[in-house]
Amino acid sequence: MSENQQIHAAMENALKNLVKLIKAVQYYPPAHPTLRQALHETAKTLLSLIVDDDEFICAVKKDGFYLGEKPVGHKNPILAKLAPFLFARRINHLMILPDLDINDLQAFARCLTMEATEIHKMGGIHELLMKARVSTIWVNLVEPAQFMELKKELEQEKEQFVGEQDE
């Protein structure tokens, strides 16, 4: 298997795990072992996509997922349903950072469980992720300069929030 095929297979596996995670957050309470397992498995497979401490970016179109111009998992029926599901939530690019946080992943999955119309009424998926202080998963921002400043702000808010909880 070539390196390109390995990356495509790993991405297909990570996206299948994302589907399992979305289902798990719908059915299980936050501390449930099945949800925890789905979170860790999804994080592990997403992090396996990251090479040389770079972020991982894939394109999301109505008909599927793409790395560059190459389709990924087009024959996979699970991904054939996930792509339009994400696309309906106006996700065109999905970026995973090397410091992926389990809590961010859970918040991302929870946001995705909302109906697309609700997401749009609340300002869009990007706005929901900002409100949830998700700083290691980004949608529709593909330029590092765009997300690095926002990431710093969110991480400062997270630290402040944790500090207030400790008090």
> pLDDT at position 4, please?
78
> pLDDT at position 135, please?
87
Residues of the chain with pLDDT under 70: 1, 142-151, 154, 158, 160-167
Tell me the C-alpha distance between 145 and 121, whole Å. 28
The helix or strand, by DSSP H or E, that contains position 66, with its residue range, turns out to be: strand 64-67
Residues 6+ apart with CB under 8 A from 85: 112
